[in-house]
Structure 1
Amino acid sequence: MDWRAAYPFAFRAGPLVLRFFSHAEADVRKDVASTGVTTVSGRVMVQAPQTGRVTWLGQGERLRVFAGGRVEHDRPDLDDLLAWRRGNLVFRNGRLADIVAEVNRYTTRKIVLSTPRLAGMRLSGIYNFGKEQDFLEILSRLLPLGVIADPSGYRLVPV
Structure 2
Amino acid sequence: MKISADHRASPSDEPFQQAWVWLRLLTSGDAKAWDVEGFERWLHASPAHESAFRAAKQQWATLKPVAGAALRRMPDAVAARERGKQERSRDLRNRRAFLAAATGAAAVAGVALVYPPAGLWPAAGEWGADYRTATGEQQALELAPRVKVTLNTQTRIRRQGAGGETTGIELLSGEAAVDIDRPATASGGRPFAVVAGPGRSLAEDGRFEVRNLEGKICVTCIEGSARVEHPLGERRLVAHQQLIYDGGTLGLASTVDPAQASAWRKGELVFNNTRLAEVIAEINRYRPGRVLLMNGSVRDMPVSGSFYIASLSEALSLLQRTYDLKARSLPGGLYVLS
Are 1:94 and 2:277 an aligned pair?
no
Are 1:154 and 2:332 an aligned pair?
no
CA distance in 2, matches of 1:115, 1:7: 51
Q: Which residue of 2 aligns with 1:109?
A: 289
Q: Look at both structures and tell me which one has the larger radius of gyration over its CA atoms.
A: 2
Instruction: Answer whether contact 1:15 1:35 (CA < 8 A) is retained.
Output: no
What TM-score do you get using the length of structure 1 for normalisation?
0.87
Instruction: Answer whether contact 2:197 2:247 (CA < 8 A) is retained.
Output: no
Q: 1:30 aligns with which of 195, 212, 216?
A: 212
Deviation at 1:151, TM superposition (A): 1.5
Higher relative contact order (CA 8 A, sep 6+): 1
Deviation at 1:128, TM superposition (A): 0.6
Q: How many aligned positions are there? A: 154
RMSD: 1.9
Q: Which residue of 1 aligns with 2:203?
A: 20
Deviation at 1:141, TM superposition (A): 1.3
Q: Name structure 2 gaps, 5 residues minimum.
A: 1-144, 148-179, 182-188
Higher helix share: 2
Are 1:48 and 2:230 an aligned pair?
yes
CA distance in 2, matches of 1:67, 1:92: 27
CA distance in 2, matches of 1:33, 1:113: 23
CA distance in 2, matches of 1:136, 1:130: 12
What TM-score do you get using the length of structure 2 for normalisation?
0.43
Deviation at 1:70, TM superposition (A): 6.1
Higher strand share: 1
Q: 1:126 aligns with which of 277, 286, 306?
A: 306
Instruction: Answer whether contact 1:136 1:147 (CA < 8 A) is retained.
Output: no
2:209 alignment partner, SS class: strand
Letter of the 1:156 counterpart: L
Letter of the 1:12 counterpart: V
CA distance in 2, matches of 1:99, 1:61: 22
Are 1:57 and 2:237 an aligned pair?
yes
Q: 1:156 to 1:33 in 2, by over 3 A?
A: farther
Q: 1:16 to 1:2 in 2, by over 3 A?
A: same
